[in-house]
């Protein structure tokens, strides 16, 4: 008989809980789960896992959720962009320059991906 798998303990974190609470707030503001879930771009199971505070979304997933909701990750987590600006400024980084550079890189990456896909399509 194969060994029985023991359930793993779940490590909750402040960040997971913050994301869960914020998604619940946004869900209410957007007319409930059925209206909100498609906006997030998440699968239903993934969404439920995050809402229970036990999901472990990657930063990329959080960026994708925020982008699909037309906000920054900071706003998704309930922070003001001013908070991010202050934190980056303490380390000598300009928020606007960083944001612009990231947007430019993302556009270039998407363009390259489109070109690569179009080369793979049969002529």
The residues near 63 (Cβ < 8 Å, ≥ 6 apart) are 73
The answer to whether 12 and 20 are in contact (CB under 8 A) is no
Q: What is the pLDDT of residue 32?
A: 92
Q: Give the whole-angstrom CA distance, residue 93 versus residue 88.
A: 5
pLDDT at residue 117 is higher than 80: no
| SS (HEC) of 22-68 | HHHHHHHHCCCHHHHHHHHCCCHHHHHHHHCCCCCCCHHHHHHHHHH
Mean pLDDT confidence for 116-121: 73
Q: Residue 114: which H helix or E strand, with range?
A: helix 95-120
Q: Give the whole-angstrom CA distance, residue 119 versus residue 123.
A: 9
Distances in Å between the alpha carbon of 44 and those of 33, 54, 92, 123? Answer: 10, 14, 40, 37
Mean pLDDT confidence for 6-21: 74
63-86 residue pLDDT tens: 889 988 888 888 898 888 898 899
Q: Is 6 exposed, middle or buried (0-12, 13-18, 19+ CB in 10 A)?
A: exposed
pLDDT at residue 1 is higher than 80: no
33-42 residue pLDDT tens: 999 999 998 9
Q: What percent of the chain has pLDDT over 70?
A: 87
Q: How confident is residue 23, by pLDDT bands cut at 50, 70 and 90?
A: very high
Q: How confident is residue 94, by pLDDT bands cut at 50, 70 and 90?
A: very high
């Amino acid at each position: 008989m194969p060994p029985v798998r023991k359930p793993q303990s779940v490590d909750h974190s402040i960040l997971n809980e913050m994301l869960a609470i914020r998604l619940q707030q946004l869900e209410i503001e957007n007319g409930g789960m059925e209206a909100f879930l498609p906006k997030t771009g998440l699968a239903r199971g993934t969404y439920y896992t995050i809402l229970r505070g036990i999901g472990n979304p990657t930063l990329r997933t959080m960026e994708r959720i925020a982008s699909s909701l037309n906000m920054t990750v900071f706003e998704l987590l309930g922070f003001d962009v001013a908070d991010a600006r202050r934190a980056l400024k303490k380390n000598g980084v300009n928020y606007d320059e960083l944001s612009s550079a990231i947007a430019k890189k993302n556009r270039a990456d998407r363009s390259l991906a489109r070109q690569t896909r179009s080369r793979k399509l049969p002529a």
